[in-house]
Chains A and B, each alone.
Chain A
Amino acid sequence: MANSLGIFVTNPDSVQHIVGVTKAAKAKGIKVKLFFTWSGTKLTKDPAWSELVKLADDVSICADSYKKMGFNVEDVPEGLTTEKMATQAQHGDIIENYDRYMTL
Chain B
Amino acid sequence: MSKKLFFMYKNADYVVDGMRSALGQAVENNYAFGAVMTDMPALDEHNKENVDWIRDMEGEIYSTVPSVCEQNELTPITLEELGQKLREMEYIIPYGVK
CB of A10 within 8 A of CB of B91, answer: no
Give the docked Cα–Cα distance between A32 and B91 (Å).
Answer: 18
Known: A89-B24, A92-B30, A95-B25. A8 touches B93 (CB 8 A): yes
Known: A88-B28, A92-B30, A101-B91. A11 touches B21 (CB 8 A): no
CB of A88 within 8 A of CB of B24, answer: yes
B49 at the interface (CB under 8 A from A): no
Q: Determine the chain A residues whose CB is within 8 A of the CB of B24 once the complex forms.
A: 87-89, 91-92
Partner of A11, one of B3, B30, B96: B96
Count of residues in A whose CB is under 8 Å from the partner chain: 18
B94 at the interface (CB under 8 A from A): yes
A6 to chain B, nearest CB (A): 10
A75-104 vs B: 1/0 string, CB under 8 Å? 000000000000111011001100001010
B4-33 vs A: 1/0 string, CB under 8 Å? 010000000010011011011101101000
Other CB < 8 Å A-B pairs besides A10-B21, A37-B21, A88-B24, 17 of them? A10-B95, A10-B96, A11-B97, A13-B97, A37-B17, A39-B14, A87-B24, A88-B20, A88-B21, A88-B23, A88-B25, A91-B21, A92-B30, A95-B25, A95-B30, A95-B91, A103-B94
> What are 18 sample pairs from A and B whose C-beta atoms fall under 8 A apart?
A10-B18, A10-B21, A11-B96, A11-B97, A39-B96, A65-B17, A87-B24, A88-B25, A89-B24, A89-B28, A91-B25, A91-B28, A92-B28, A92-B30, A95-B25, A103-B93, A103-B94, A103-B95
